[in-house]
């Protein structure tokens, strides 16, 4: 349904003209799919510089996650769930009629966007063929005004961000480790005080030996002194490490136009100083858009230049930071380096900030030109050409540390030593890498458009055309370890260069060509029929035998049918109905494909995989042991959907509902083969999936007058992607797995995807944990289903109040039923910071809660501590067996969020009537001001930041992860906590 924010301001919702696939404009009545339109004021209300993130919570069925919380956070866009195991599940992004990318969408300043039309299902996106299988988001940027008078708009925002929801630590025990009496031989109720430990396995904070005392904390400083502090826990002690992030957004735009021409120019700059010191983003964006009509000929062009620089450190410093006992004030060690850190077993995060850097520069140019000629009133021809060029430069360096210095701390155990030789702290080897990338994407649409009235009551619109895409990408990377001259970052200064085959050195080109047709029939003003057809050939499916240079490509047909009926215009008794003023019913069927799971040269054994093997680990004649099935086909999606949209009491009440089901055949993933074949695995069509769900939208206008208006809206969306068949005998496919802990992301027959599976405890019929005679819990030998990544449902809520020039608005949502793996919890268990490790007397051992033993064939309550009743056995369990069991790390991902709160005031025009200023609006806002997690999530991680691809490798040119694009559901310890933002905005037109 069209979003209520757009439609309720319109006298006749059906007459709203929106942009659809291939830039074809239609009245809302004529759209036979389910869509929602978001306007610019909804994107800019809370000052979010990222237009994709600004959509969060505003469209039912749209789920946006941010798997890498950083200075340059990139969001994933998903509509109605997953439809592929290894292929792309992200929505297609189209900007000003041309296929683009989510990354470019996120670089567009929200204030230059006129509208975002979200086609949730395949019915509205079928004309895009393979690319439209996951729904499409159509972005239309602003044009110049119709006024010949030049107008300017000035926008300025300033944001202040801080970390939010840091992990909750136990505050019972302080720094130390049982059995380590090197520094202090005293037995403190079964453990030792060790002032340089990363673990909170020491004496309790109420131990009489330390009551009210200051103690040594950490390693000797450069002058041989020690930093001291109270033996007491510090509230939220990690917060001191992070600073207040400051972000500036400034933009100036110019509008001018007339009857047959227009021009729009926007200049925008964003500068973000992140909550991690020295992490920065600087982005400059220039967009120019113009059009002119000369007789029957019209030309429109858009040119967008984006230049972005980012500098960030290694986010794994957060993993090191987590290993901080609560009695440590981390800020005291900002200048202490590795030699003077609070622990001998970590790399000081402050050292990492200074010495490990990733610097990236990206320059994008997007040129879009559309020419249209009207042959007569019924026939026109148009061609749209779009070019995207990207130039990337990535550099990274690690200055390394070799422990060549020694402590000068007479009279202590440290004197004459260093962390390397005394505590076996591993040295860090210096390195430098540099990557240069070039990308060129071409997109072209040729359309011949027909518009005829076949009868007085029947109109036909027919679009026939051709679409071509051509995407090429080149990446060259060099680098290695051991810098000869410290601090000089150049390839010539690297003593040990890595083999180029082990780095990202690639050159790819992927093309497609398609013929297409779009037919719209309109009977009077209440019945609309649409059908589309596309025959597409993709180079991803091109194959040739090793004995020939001849390629063969099998084309694929994709098509759709849709119907839209407007009862309130069809029946006389509804035309002037005072209760039901609008009703629309749609139904559609679509068949599209998805070949994104096939690598660019996967089917080409000549230029594709070059095996490496005997005798010198170089290119050889060894067989490719992971080939692609030569008979592989795209994943085919057969989708059915229906929707209804109702307006009551002149749209004071708007109600929408949609239901959908997609059957996916021929899922693409790797399957194991017989050992006799000599192959490890084959990429092939191995299974099926069903994706289904429904959405509900409701908007109310409880009060509306000349000076005051109150709107409130809510949405409910739910979907389920279930794997129905997999050829593998195990009935499952793993996307990303770990042995310690034993947990991973899977696709499994009969279960929802993605699925978390791993090791779990044995339990009795009542669900109690079964332990052995030594009190240690027993582990089930078979992998168990531990949770699913996608929520059961998502509730959305928004409201706005307007009183004269004052506007107050808010957006919130609630997700529940999803789970994720919290690696942070595993880290906290190791260092004894987990609350679960301290809600009992450690000196008496740990009895597994709600546990039983099998005695004489009966389950009886367990009272035996794990391994025995002493502190050391508690430490042994939580640092070992506990962390290996996947069940312990799976956390409820439910969350209630206030996404945005915004308050703005527009000055009365009377105050400005004698000035050159047309309008002035001042505002304050908050993003993510309040978040509530599930009880089991002790702020281990934001569920929305769970990775999509595995642990991140930021080395220039490298992939972001190892688990593929759909291995999401694992929150790594190197992922920063979420942030919340408060800001101020200023907008003026003149």
Residue by residue, DSSP assigns 823-880 as HHHHHHHHTT-SGGGTSS-GGG--PPTTEEEEETTEEEE----TTSSSHHHHHHHHHT
Q: What is the pLDDT of residues 628-638, one digit of tens each?
A: 888 899 999 99
| Contact between residue 400 and residue 427 where contact means Cβ atoms under 8 Å apart | yes
Provide the token pair at 540. Answer: 């991803």
Q: What is the pLDDT of residues 554-603, one digit of tens each?
A: 899 999 999 999 999 999 999 888 899 999 999 999 999 999 888 888 88
> CA–CA distance from 918 to each of 57, 145, 317, 911, 913 (Å)?
32, 15, 49, 10, 8
How far is Cα 209 from Cα 231, in angstroms, rounded to an integer? Answer: 10
Closest residue by Cα to residue 78 from 55, 51, 95: 55
Provide the token pair at 609. Answer: 């995989």
Residue 816: the pLDDT is: 97
Q: What is the pLDDT of residues 93-133, one digit of tens each?
A: 999 999 999 999 999 999 999 999 999 988 878 899 888 88
Q: What is the mean pLDDT of residues 140-161?
A: 90
> What is the bridge-based pairing of β-strands 784-788 and 858-861?
unpaired
Residue 266 has pLDDT above 70, yes or no: yes
Q: What is the mean pLDDT of residues 30-53?
A: 91
Q: Which residues pair with 903 in a beta bridge?
A: 808, 924
How far is Cα 25 from Cα 18, in angstroms, rounded to an integer? Answer: 6
Identify the sign of the CA torsion 906, 907, 910, 914: negative
Residue 13: which pLDDT band, with cuts at 50, 70 and 90? low
Q: What is the mean pLDDT of residues 458-485?
A: 95
Is it true that the peptide bond before 331 is cis, omega within 30 degrees of 0? no
How far is Cα 633 from Cα 683, in angstroms, rounded to an integer? Answer: 11
| Contact between residue 268 and residue 284 where contact means Cβ atoms under 8 Å apart | yes
How far is Cα 264 from Cα 254, in angstroms, rounded to an integer? Answer: 6
Provide the token pair at 55. Answer: 């959509």
Residue 330: which pLDDT band, with cuts at 50, 70 and 90? very high
Residue 4 has pLDDT above 50, yes or no: no
For 11-20, 709-718, 727-736, 909-918, which range has the lowest pLDDT when averaged over its residues?
11-20
How does DSSP classify residue 446? E
Residue 948: the pLDDT is: 60
Residue 16: which pLDDT band, with cuts at 50, 70 and 90? confident
How far is Cα 517 from Cα 534, in angstroms, rounded to an integer? Answer: 7
Q: What is the mean pLDDT of residues 450-471?
A: 96
Q: Three-state SS string across 644-691, please?
A: EEEEECCCCEEEEEEEEEEEEEEEEEEEECCHHHCCCEEEEEEEEEEE
Q: Where are the beta strands (DSSP E) in 175-279?
A: 214-216, 228-230, 245-257, 261-273
> CA–CA distance from 675 to each of 99, 625, 671, 681 (Å)?
43, 11, 12, 10
Q: What is the mean pLDDT of residues 191-210?
A: 96
Q: What is the pLDDT of residues 915-951, one digit of tens each?
A: 999 999 999 999 999 999 999 999 999 998 776 655 5
How far is Cα 941 from Cα 952, in angstroms, rounded to an integer? Answer: 16
Provide the phi-psi class of 278: left if phi over 0, else alpha when psi is between -120 and 50, else beta: left
Q: For the chain, what percent of residues have pLDDT higher than 70?
A: 93
Q: Give exposure, 652-665, as e/b (b: 16+ Cβ within 10 Å).
A: bbbbbbbbbebbbb
- Calculate Rg over the CA atoms of the chain: 31
Q: What is the mean pLDDT of residues 664-676?
A: 79
For the question of whether the overall pTM of this predicted structure is more than 0.95, the answer is no
């Amino acid at each position: 349904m069209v979003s209520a924010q757009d439609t309720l301001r319109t006298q006749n919702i059906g007459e709203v003209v929106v942009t659809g696939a291939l830039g074809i404009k239609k009245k809302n009545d004529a759209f036979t799919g389910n869509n929602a339109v978001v306007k610019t004021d909804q994107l800019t209300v809370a000052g979010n510089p990222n237009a994709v993130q600004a959509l969060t919570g505003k469209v039912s069925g749209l789920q946006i996650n941010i798997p890498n919380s950083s200075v340059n956070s990139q969001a994933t866009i998903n509509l109605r769930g997953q439809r592929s195991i290894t292929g792309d599940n992200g929505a297609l992004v189209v900007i000003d009629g041309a296929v683009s990318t989510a990354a470019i969408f996120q670089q567009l300043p929200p204030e230059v966007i006129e509208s975002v039309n979200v086609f949730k299902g395949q019915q509205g996106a079928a004309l895009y063929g393979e690319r439209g299988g996951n729904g499409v988001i159509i972005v239309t940027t602003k044009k110049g005004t119709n006024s010949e008078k030049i107008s300017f708009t000035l926008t300025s925002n300033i944001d202040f961000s801080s970390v939010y929801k840091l992990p909750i630590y136990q505050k019972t025990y302080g720094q130390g480790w049982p059995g380590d009496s090197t520094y202090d031989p005293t037995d403190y109720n079964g453990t030792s005080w060790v002032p340089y430990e990363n673990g909170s396995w020491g004496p309790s904070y109420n131990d009489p030996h330390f009551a009210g005392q200051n103690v040594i904390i950490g390693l000797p400083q450069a002058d041989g002194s020690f930093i001291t502090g109270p033996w007491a826990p510090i509230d939220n002690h990690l917060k001191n490490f992070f600073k207040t992030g400051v972000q500036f957004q400034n933009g100036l735009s110019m509008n001018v136009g007339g009857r047959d021409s227009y021009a729009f120019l926007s200049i925008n700059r964003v500068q973000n100083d992140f909550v991690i010191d020295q992490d920065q983003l600087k982005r400059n964006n220039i967009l120019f858009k113009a059009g002119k009509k000369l007789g029957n000929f019209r030309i429109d062009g858009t040119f967008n230049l984006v230049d972005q620089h980012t500098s960030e450190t290694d986010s794994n410093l957060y993993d090191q930071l987590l290993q901080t006992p609560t009695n440590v004030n981390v800020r005291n060690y900002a200048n202490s380096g590795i030699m003077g850190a609070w622990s001998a077993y970590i790399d000081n995060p402050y050292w990492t900030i200074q010495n490990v850097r990733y610097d990236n520069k990206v320059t994008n140019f997007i040129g879009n030109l559309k020419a249209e000629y009207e042959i007569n009133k019924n026939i026109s021809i148009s061609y749209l050409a779009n070019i995207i060029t990207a130039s990337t430069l990535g550099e990274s360096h690690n200055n390394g540390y070799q422990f060549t210095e020694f402590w000068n701390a007479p009279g202590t155990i440290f004197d004459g030593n260093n962390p390397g030789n005394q505590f076996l702290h591993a040295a860090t080897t210096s390195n430098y890498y540099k990557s240069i990338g070039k990308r060129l994407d071409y997109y072209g649409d040729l359309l011949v458009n027909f518009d005829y009235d076949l009868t007085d009551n029947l109109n036909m619109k027919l679009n026939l055309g051709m679409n071509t895409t051509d995407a090429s990408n080149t990446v060259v990377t060099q680098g290695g370890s051991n810098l000869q001259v410290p601090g000089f970052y150049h390839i010539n200064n690297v003593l040990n260069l890595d083999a180029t085959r082990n780095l990202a050195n690639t050159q790819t080109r992927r093309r497609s060509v398609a013929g297409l047709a779009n037919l719209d029939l309109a009977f009077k003003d209440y019945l609309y029929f649409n059908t589309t057809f596309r025959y597409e050939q993709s180079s991803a499916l091109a194959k040739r035998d090793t004995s020939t240079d001849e390629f063969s490509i099998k084309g694929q047909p994709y098509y759709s049918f849709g119907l839209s009926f407007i009862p309130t215009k069809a029946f006389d008794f509804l035309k002037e109905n005072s209760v039901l003023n609008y009703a629309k019913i749609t139904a559609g069927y679509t068949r599209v494909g998805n070949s994104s799971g096939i690598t660019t040269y996967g089917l080409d054994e000549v230029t594709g995989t070059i095996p490496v093997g005997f005798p010198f680990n170089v290119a050889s004649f060894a067989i490719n042991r992971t080939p692609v099935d030569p008979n592989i086909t795209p994943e085919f999606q057969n989708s059915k959907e229906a929707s209804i949209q109702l307006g009551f009491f002149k749209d004071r009440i708007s109600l929408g509902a949609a239901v959908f089901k997609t059957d996916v055949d021929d899922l693409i993933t790797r399957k194991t083969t017989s050992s006799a074949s000599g192959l490890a695995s084959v990429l092939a069509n191995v299974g099926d999936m069903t994706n289904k769900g429904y959405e509900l939208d409701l908007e109310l206008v409880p009060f509306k007058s000349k000076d005051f208006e109150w709107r409130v809206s809510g949405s409910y969306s739910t979907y389920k992607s279930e794997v129905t068949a997999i050829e593998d005998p195990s009935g499952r496919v793993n996307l990303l797995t770990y042995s310690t802990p034993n947990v991973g992301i899977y696709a499994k027959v009969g279960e929802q995807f993605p699925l978390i599976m791993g090791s779990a405890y044995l339990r009795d019929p009542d669900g109690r944990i079964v332990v052995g005679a030594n009190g240690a819990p027993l582990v089930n030998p078979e992998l168990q289903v531990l949770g699913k990544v996608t929520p059961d449902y998502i509730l959305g809520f928004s409201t706005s109040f307007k009183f004269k020039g004052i506007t107050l608005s808010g957006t919130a949502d609630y997700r529940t039923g999803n789970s994720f793996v919290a690696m942070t919890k595993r880290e906290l268990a190791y260092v004894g910071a987990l609350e679960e490790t301290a809600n009992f007397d450690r000196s008496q051992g740990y009895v597994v809660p709600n546990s039983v033993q099998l005695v004489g064939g009966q389950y009886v309550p367990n009272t035996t501590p794990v391994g025995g009743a002493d502190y050391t056995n508690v430490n042994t369990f939580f640092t070992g067996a506990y962390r290996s069991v996947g069940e312990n790390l799976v956390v409820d991902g439910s969350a209630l969020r206030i996404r945005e709160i915004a308050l703005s005031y527009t000055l009365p025009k009377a105050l400005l009537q004698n000035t050159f200023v047309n309008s002035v609006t001042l505002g304050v806002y908050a993003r993510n001001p309040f978040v509530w997690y599930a009880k089991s999530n002790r702020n281990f991680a934001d569920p929305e930041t769970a990775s999509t691809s595995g642990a991140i490798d930021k080395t220039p040119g490298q992939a972001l992860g190892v688990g593929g694009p759909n291995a999401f559901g694992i929150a790594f310890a190197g992922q920063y906590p979420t942030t919340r933002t408060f800001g101020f905005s200023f907008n003026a037109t003149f």
